[in-house]
Structure 1
Amino acid sequence: MLVLVLGITLTAYAGICLFFLLAQRSFIYCPRPSLNPAVTCLTLHRNQTTIRVASHRHDGPRGLIYFGGNAEDISLTLPEITAAFPARAIYMLYYRGYGDSSGRPTEAGLREDAAAVFEFVRSRHAHVTLVGRSLGSSLAVGLAANHAPQRLVLITPFDSILAIASQIAPFLPMRLLLRDRWESVHDAPQVHCPTLILAAGDDELIPAANTDRLLRAFPDGVASLAVIPDTDHNSISVAPAFWQALHDFASDES
């Protein structure tokens, strides 16, 4: 009887592991269509993948690249970011499978696309600011570690998806199963531009300890943390204090 129970338990556990192995990317990426057809988009081609980039034109040396959250429709965010950074050209990457971008999202693919967008923007603007929200924060940190933006803003960031997933499901061998780890904590030590971290005071998805671990990974004096009180993971961008912090950070540029 004990052997039978043990066998059933092990089979069920193996089934759970297999399910997660096969379905894991559906937990990380939630592709959305674009709900704002009036948005102007640029098209980049990357290894037979069509990448769409929502944009707001502004002539001048300053450009901003925005990487959204895993379920964010960036076409709805573009007007807000444009209003917050009126002196910059704005570029927002539609991840693979999001909006009219083709392909399927993976960490490797999104990192390639982000680098391509950075090269495109850098060729047109000498001063580049990176802004990443939630999942997009990891893209932004990785890009900042390997390129040279002038500013970096991280909204509700995390240290790594591996760490978050291990906390949510400690009974699963995440180090063996997880394909897309998004380990910002490993990229942060190579970032040297002024960095602002904006955290929600009541974030229900990203524990404060994970944000603090990311903050500590940056070189001394590089990153600062602003906690927006009475906000959660999604409502942070509704708070006036959030936009004020962005305004102050942008206004402090030399």
Structure 2
Amino acid sequence: MKYSIEIFDKYKPQIIIGRSLGTAVASYAASKRDIEKLILITPFDSIENIAKSKYPFLPVKYILKHKFKEIDWIKKVKTHVYVILSEIENIVPKKSVKNILSNIPNLKNFYIIKNSTHGNILQNEDFVNILEKILKH
């Protein structure tokens, strides 16, 4: 995660956008630096929790080197957070999505892209419209 801070400090963006695994990196950077907006596309609470739900028979706690505990970082973000979700989420369990949403202290708004999955959300025509709307506010 230290590289996200190095990149942030080099470019000093005012808006950070993260998608899927990148939402954890974006949340981490936003928890360490002041920004104008944080936009999370298909976020999750932690890779560890996703792995536990998909592979309950494995000791994932001990297998995973990087647990990407986005839930810990998002609680420290001071700026407005916008979330874009897929209607048919086929990667991140609903429990993980609900958990992250309920732990965002500055959740400004969240959107659900109809007829989209985790993998094709960026290709959905509504995605660009919603992203433009967020960026204008």
- The TM-score with structure 1 as length reference comes to 0.52
Deviation at 1:184, TM superposition (A): 0.4
- Which residue in the other structure is 1:113 paired with? 3
Aligned residue pairs total 137
Calculate the aligned-residue CA RMSD, in Å. 1.2
Q: Which of 205, 209, 230 matches 2:95?
A: 209
2:26 corresponds, among 140, 160, 183, to 140
Q: CA deviation at 1:223?
A: 4.0
Unmatched segments (≥5 aa) in structure 1: 1-110
Over alpha carbons, which structure has the higher Rg? 1
The structural deviation recorded for 1:222 is: 3.0
Query: d(CA) in 2 for partners of 1:230 and 1:236?
Result: 9
The corresponding residue for 1:250 is: 135
Counterparts of 2:31 and 2:115, CA distance in 1: 31
TM-score, normalised relative to structure 2:
0.94
| Superposed displacement of residue 208, structure 1 | 2.5
For residues 138 and 235 of structure 1, what CA distance do their matches in structure 2 show? Answer: 19
Structure 2 distance, partners of 1:228, 1:208, is: 15
Distance 1:189 1:225 in 2: 16
Name the CA distance, whole Å, in 2 between partners of 1:246 and 1:235. 15
Q: Whole-Å Cα distance in 2 between the matches of residues 238 and 218 of structure 1?
A: 26
In structure 2, do the counterparts of structure 1 residues 218 and 173 end up closer, same or farther at CA, with 3 Å as the change threshold? same
Equivalent pairs: percent with the same residue? Answer: 24
Which secondary structure state, in structure 2, belongs to the residue aligned with residue 162 of structure 1?
helix
2:118 partner letter: H
Contact map agreement 1:192 1:222 (CA 8 A) in 2: no
SS state at 1:171 partner: coil
5+ long unaligned stretches in structure 2:
none
Q: Which residue of 1 aligns with 2:14?
A: 128
Task: Please name the residue that 1:98 is paired with.
Answer: none
Q: CA contact under 8 A between 1:160 and 1:181: conserved in structure 2?
A: yes
The list of structure 1 runs, each at least 4 consecutive aligned residues, that deviate by more than 6 angstroms after superposition, is none
Q: String of CA shifts for 1:152-179, please: whole Å, max 9, x gaps.
A: 1111111100000000111111222211
- Cα displacement string for residues 117-170 of structure 1 (whole angstroms, at most 9, x for unaligned residues): 100112xxxx61001011111000011111111111111111100000000111
1:177-188 matches, within 5 Å, as 177-188=63-74
